[in-house]
Amino acid sequence: MPTETTPRQLKIISQLRVDQVPQLSRLTPDQLLDMQAVASVLPFRVNNYVLEDLIDWDNIPADPIYQLVFPQPGMLAPADFARMRALIASGAARPEVTAAAREIQHQMNPHPAGQKQLNVPAQDGKPVPGMQHKYRETVLFFPLAGQTCHAYCTYCFRWAQFVGIEDLKFASGEPEVLVRYLRAHPEVTSVLFTGGDPMVMNASVLRRYIEPLLDPSLNLLSIRIGTKSLAYWPYRFVTDPDADDVLRLFEQVRQSGRNMAIMSHYTHPRELQRDIARIAVARVRSAGALVRCQAPIIRHVNDSAEIWAELWREQIRNNTVPYYAFVERDTGPKEYFRVPLARCLDIYNGALRKVSGLGRTVRGPSMSCTPGKVVVDGVAEIGGEKVFVLKFLQGRNPAWTGQVFFAAYDEQAAWLDELKPAFGESEFFYEAELREMQARGNAQVWVDAPEAAAVAAALIEEN
């Protein structure tokens, strides 16, 4: 077990220039221009740790961490890529570049899975800022100060907010809003802070959000933080000036009698193989927090059974819990990263076969889509038809959770909406009910109807 570390100052880099990233001098000017063309449309941000310690610069462009953070030509459609490249090569003025980029961004499905329309809850007849409440027991909270990350993943499904086509009105700077909502909704047992990355907030800001939740009169069982900081900036928990304060806050959550979980986004085993990364996990765990690990399956980055098996082995070695393997969402540069469901299943099962039961706590491949979290459980032949066996891990309607359903096997399909029901049925069992929810404009079926109607009206007005 490593014990020594030297403090490091975080340096954020968001310009693809050789004076900012000296490693880029390995590229030809043409290659650099390619990347700048893509980065004019999609977000780019990296830091000194990822640059210097995680990327293997002798292996670019194939290196998985390089693919994880650096824009690649294939991430735009060929015509869009050519257009942006020509604009930048000609030295076009900033407004012209931005306008062209905006057009392309809007064609890349910037708001997947009906998050805005269906997930924002209501209170006193108004949408509650900063929250999504899709599954009865769990509320997502988006703290305003936590809406960036220590680096950006090229495949991020929140990319639209980082390029500014989604304004930050969906986030909230007011912890009281959350507490008031929880008092009115004792069905919520878990609050999940998300972003961006809430761990970009300093300890005192984080404390303003978390401390009020420790009130014993609230019905909460757990507080979770979704973060990639353990991978992108492990110093956050070790040598940053407020690292100890953060750990103390986790301890306080435990002392209040609740589960404290870090939902850690690890995409590749290398993110767990640096000394500092192992130390960071050990420190978080020493504060009593549980670390659960999740990531999507991404072409060019981690699309092999061997990589996932190694990822889960590293997670087990570090006393963390493998939790979800996601299917990449249908947004942004999805064509570049796309892994068909059939292949996701092979990767998942292939990896599962290489680990002990301690690795099999992971569920996948799972799609977070409009009706709920749907896992591809397997392929079967039923009545002579080859089918995908699908199952709701979580349903927008809690009654759907655990329900199994079937889709015609399709080797190329990569998302639920590319699948057709099996056995010649015209639609999946939940579709009529989902349409009804969409017509009502709100899907919190356990919340009373007048509130649901009010939030729908307010959201329509706002947009």
**Footprint of ligand PLP (CB under 6 A):** 132, 134-135, 138, 140, 192, 368, 373, 394
DSSP string covering 4-18, please? --------EE----T
Taking CB within 5 to 8 Å according to partner kind, which of ligand PLP, ligand SF4, none is near residue 228?
ligand SF4
Using CB under 6 A, which residues numbered 226 to 245 contact ligand SF4? 228
Q: Cβ(225)–Cβ(263) under 8 Å?
A: yes
From candidates 175, 195, 234, 372, binder to ligand SF4 by CB under 6 A: 195
Task: Measure the CA–CA gap between 230 and 199, rounded to whole angstroms.
Answer: 9
CB 381 to ligand SF4: min, Å: 37
Integer angstrom CA distances of residue 163 from 82, 157, 361 = 20, 12, 35
CB 210 to ligand PLP: min, Å: 18
Determine whether 67 is exposed, middle or buried from the number of CB atoms within 10 Å of its CB (0-12, 13-18, 19+).
Answer: buried
Q: Cβ(72)–Cβ(39) under 8 Å?
A: no
DSSP label at 26? G
Under rule CB under 6 A, residue 158 binds ligand SF4:
yes
Taking CB within 5 to 8 Å according to partner kind, which of ligand PLP, ligand SF4, none is near residue 153?
ligand SF4
Fill in the amino acid letter for 382.
I
Element (H, E) at 327: strand 321-327
Q: Which is nearer to ligand SF4, 265 or 391 (CB)?
A: 265
CB 408 to ligand SF4: min, Å: 31
CB 68 to ligand SF4: min, Å: 9
Closest CA to 448 of 138, 187, 139: 187
From candidates 64, 112, 196, 395, binder to ligand SF4 by CB under 6 A: 196
Q: Cis bond leading into 395, ω under 30°?
A: no
* Region from 30-38, 100-108, 192-200, 355-363 binding ligand SF4, contact rule CB under 6 A: 192-200
Task: Measure the CA–CA gap between 14 and 130, rounded to whole angstroms.
Answer: 26
Taking CB within 5 to 8 Å according to partner kind, which of ligand SF4, ligand PLP, none is near residue 195?
ligand SF4
CB 14 to ligand SF4: min, Å: 12
Taking CB within 5 to 8 Å according to partner kind, which of ligand SF4, ligand PLP, none is near residue 149?
ligand SF4
Q: Cβ(139)–Cβ(181) under 8 Å?
A: yes
CB 152 to ligand SF4: min, Å: 4
CB 158 to ligand PLP: min, Å: 12
Q: Which is nearer to ligand PLP, 373 or 391 (CB)?
A: 373
Taking CB within 5 to 8 Å according to partner kind, which of ligand SF4, ligand PLP, none is near residue 98?
none
Strands annotated E in 68-198: 122-123, 126-127, 131-135, 138-141, 190-193
Under rule CB under 6 A, residue 197 binds ligand SF4:
yes
CB 373 to ligand PLP: min, Å: 6
Q: Tell me what percent of the chain is helix, strand and coil, each rounded to the nearest 5.
A: 45, 20, 40
Q: Cβ(44)–Cβ(71) under 8 Å?
A: yes
Q: Name the residue number minimizing CB distance to ligand SF4.
A: 156
Closest CA to 185 of 140, 222, 223, 137: 137
Say which residue the tokens 């961004």 belong to: 105
Under rule CB under 6 A, residue 160 binds ligand SF4:
no
Q: Cβ(64)–Cβ(120) under 8 Å?
A: no
Q: Which is nearer to ligand PLP, 238 or 289 (CB)?
A: 289
* Region from 26-34, 49-57, 151-159, 252-260 binding ligand SF4, contact rule CB under 6 A: 151-159
Interface ranges with ligand SF4 (CB under 6 A): 149, 152-153, 156, 158, 195-197, 228, 265
